[in-house]
């Protein structure tokens, strides 16, 4: 296992020179030293363990590890190394296999942890041949460009509920866990899921200011439109019925009802132009409906398990969808054509969030990982291996639930996450840890107030938390 280090350290060290090149070294101590090279560090390891079958004399699977050029070229199955991405490199997979029958070198104990770590760093740093070589990993500039979506700011005063009709609040034994939470991008307004209705809060006063009816059941998804005028509520009754509705924030009126599903909707989003609603659930299919006439525009059938998260990019061009088996796909939002498949999560994905400039997609899941993807080519620019791993009690063993449950970006590029360690964490735009808040119950959802000055979370006991936070860098200017 590579030593775990604070993600913040990783990012702060990764900021190099002109532009922000996210070179990701997860070991602070290793990153301090000179880069790992084939000649100095890796060839001796290969010589000791691999040359017998993959050397000058014999090249099993046409793979020769004794020459740098041949290493890069790969073997009969193609390249065995992807510069910058150990998790995508066949060679790295082969030496870290759990199954002794599939592991390299064969019929031997696994390589020593230090050696595996050197190989990992070498790949991550871009397969340098010698100290004078350049990294083969592509340099990428993913710095946040604020104001990219300021254009969608509506004209006039931000939409707040006006005279909305009182709705009947059904009596419940205890509050519904907060299975959904959303904040208006422009108004001090939060929408919170409750049994058969949506509670509305003023995020400045933290007071409830009304409710919207959702007699269909539990609203498992809440999303504001980019202009803040509409609220998408989707959900239903598990294994009975599911639906998405569009509610007018100012009047409380229903503007549209979309879908007629046989199970509750578990994930949904409204396209920025308000033309499309994408939704999914236990049926493993993402359905994209027109909001104009409720017709089904297209279906996305590539997922192999329940759909757990759906998010349109802020510019509306792309649609990200995720499932319970860890799969994430990026689609062309207009046609439903597949663009990219992002395969890195090994367990259920729980959250997808786009950064406002459309260039970065964040995902989090039950494998504990929070991954920041370059949305252009699907490259995992940064993997936070376990940002929500709980503290282990002494004398205990085994895997603790460490899933990331919710991720949201603020307009200023900062992001927040909640997870199974019962903490809500605030990160700066480059992934540096800023703050952490404790919750007594599982914090199921997080959101930022429109001005980025309040962090909001909902938990499994039905409580809504408001924490004041300093405004982000963009707002300070």
Partner 1 sequence: MTARFKLLLALTLLIGLLPTGALLAAAEKPTDAGTPSFRRDVMPILFRAGCNSGTCHGSARGKDGFMLSLFGYDPKGDYYRITEDIVGRRVNVAVPEESLLLLKATGKVPHTGGELFTKDSVYYRRLLAWIEAGARDDAGPVPEPVEIRLVPERLIFQGARRREQTQVLARFSDGSTRDVTQLARFFSNNPTTAQIDKDGRVEAGKRGDTFVFARFNRFTIGSEVIVLPDESNYRWTNPPASNYIDKLVYERLQMLHLLPSELCDDATFLRRAYLDLAGALPTVEQYQKFMADTSSQKRTALVDELLASDAFTDVWTGLWAESLRLMGGGYGPTATDVKAAQAYYDWIHEQIARNRPLDEFVARQITASGSNLTDGPVNLYTMLVHSPKFTPKSFAADFSQLFTGVQIQCAECHNHPFDRWTMDDYYGFVSIFTGMKRKIGSEPRESYIYNDLSAPPARHLVDDRPMPARVLGGQQAIAAGKDPRSALAAWLASPTNELFSRNLANRIWAHHMGRGLVEPLDDMRVSNPPTNKPLLDALAGHLVDSKFNLRSLVREICTSRVYQLSAEPNATNLGDDRQFSRARLRRLRADVVLDAIGQATGIDRGFPLFPPGTKAIQYYPRTSGSTEQPTAGDAFLETFGRSKRGSICSCETKPEPTLSQVLHLMVGGTIQGEVGSCTLVPQLLAAKAQPAEIIEQLYIRTLSRKPEPGELSDMLRLVNSAPRDRKAYDDIFWSLLNSTEFLFNH
Would you tell me which residues interact with partner 1 (CB under 8 A)?
Answer: 100, 107, 170, 172-177, 179, 194-195, 218, 220, 237-240, 264, 266, 282, 305-306, 324, 396-399, 401, 442, 444, 460, 462
Beta carbon nearer to partner 1, 129 or 421: 421
Beta carbon nearer to partner 1, 131 or 239: 239
Question: At closest approach, how far in Å is the CB of 4 from partner 1?
Answer: 17
Question: At closest approach, how far in Å is the CB of 191 from partner 1?
Answer: 16
Give Cα separations from 358 to 147, 382, 426 (angstroms). Answer: 11, 16, 20
DSSP string, 372-412: EEETTTTEEEEEES-TTPPPPPTT--SPPP--EEEEEE-TT
Beta carbon nearer to partner 1, 236 or 356: 236
Taken in order 406, 390, 370, 330, the sign of the CA dihedral is negative
Beta carbon nearer to partner 1, 84 or 443: 443
Question: At closest approach, how far in Å is the CB of 352 from partner 1?
Answer: 16
Which DSSP symbol is given to 375? T
Question: At closest approach, how far in Å is the CB of 439 from partner 1?
Answer: 13
Tokens of 199: 């509670």
Question: At closest approach, how far in Å is the CB of 397 from partner 1?
Answer: 4
Which DSSP symbol is given to 38? I
Question: At closest approach, how far in Å is the CB of 308 from partner 1?
Answer: 9
Helix (H) or strand (E) holding 14: helix 7-14
In this structure, the number of other CB atoms found within 10 A of the CB of residue 462 comes to: 20
Beta carbon nearer to partner 1, 29 or 107: 107
SS (H, E, C) 84-126: CCHHHCHHHHHHHCCCCCCCCCCCCCCCCHHHHHHHHHHHHCC
Question: At closest approach, how far in Å is the CB of 346 from partner 1?
Answer: 15
Beta carbon nearer to partner 1, 175 or 378: 175
Beta carbon nearer to partner 1, 243 or 318: 243
Q: How far apart are CA 384 and CA 402, in angstroms?
A: 12
């Amino acid at each position: 296992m590579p030593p775990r280090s604070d993600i913040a350290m990783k990012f702060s060290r990764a900021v190099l020179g002109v532009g922000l090149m996210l070179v990701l070294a997860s070991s602070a101590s290793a990153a301090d030293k000179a880069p790992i090279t084939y000649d100095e560090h890796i060839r001796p390891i290969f010589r000791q363990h691999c040359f017998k079958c993959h050397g000058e004399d014999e090249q099993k699977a046409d793979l020769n590890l004794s020459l740098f050029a041949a290493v890069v070229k790969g073997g009969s199955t193609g390249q065995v190394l992807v510069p910058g991405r150990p998790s995508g490199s066949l060679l790295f997979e082969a030496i870290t296999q759990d199954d002794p029958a599939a592991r390299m070198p064969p019929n031997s104990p696994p390589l020593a942890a230090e050696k595996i770590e050197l190989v990992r760093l070498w790949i991550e740093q871009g397969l340098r041949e010698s100290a004078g070589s350049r990294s083969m990993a592509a340099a990428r500039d993913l710095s946040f460009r604020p104001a990219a979506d300021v254009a969608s700011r509506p004209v006039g005063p931000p939409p707040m509920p006006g005279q909305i009709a009182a709705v009947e609040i059904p009596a419940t034994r205890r509050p519904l866990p907060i299975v959904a939470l959303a904040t208006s991008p422009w108004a001090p307004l939060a929408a919170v899921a409750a049994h058969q209705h949506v509670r509305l809060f003023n995020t400045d006063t933290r007071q409830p200011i009304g409710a919207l009816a959702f007699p269909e059941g539990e609203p498992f998804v809440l999303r504001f439109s980019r202009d803040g005028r509409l609220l998408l509520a989707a959900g239903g009754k598990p294994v009975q019925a599911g639906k998405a509705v569009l509610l007018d924030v100012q009047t409380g009126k229903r503007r549209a009802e979309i879908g007629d599903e046989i199970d509750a909707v578990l994930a949904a989003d409204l396209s920025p132009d308000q033309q499309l609603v994408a939704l999914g659930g236990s049926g493993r299919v993402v359905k994209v409906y027109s909001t104009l006439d409720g017709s089904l525009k297209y279906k996305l059938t590539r997922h192999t398990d329940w759909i757990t998260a759906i998010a349109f990019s802020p510019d509306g061009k792309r649609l990200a969808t995720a499932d319970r088996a860890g799969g994430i796909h990026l689609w062309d939002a207009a046609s439903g054509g597949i663009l990219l498949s992002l395969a890195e999560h090994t367990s259920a994905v729980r959250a997808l969030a786009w950064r406002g400039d459309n260039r970065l997609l964040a995902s989090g899941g039950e494998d504990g990982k929070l991954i920041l993807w370059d949305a252009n080519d699907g490259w995992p620019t940064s993997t936070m291996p376990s940002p929500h791993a709980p503290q282990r009690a002494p004398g205990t063993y085994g895997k603790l639930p460490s899933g990331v449950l919710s991720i949201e970006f603020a307009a200023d590029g900062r992001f927040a996450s909640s997870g199974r360690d019962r903490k809500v964490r605030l990160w700066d735009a480059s992934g540096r840890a800023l703050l952490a808040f404790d919750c007594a119950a599982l914090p199921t959802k997080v959101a930022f107030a429109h001005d980025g000055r309040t962090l909001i979370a909902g938990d499994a006991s039905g409580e809504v938390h408001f924490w004041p936070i300093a405004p982000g860098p963009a707002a300070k200017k």
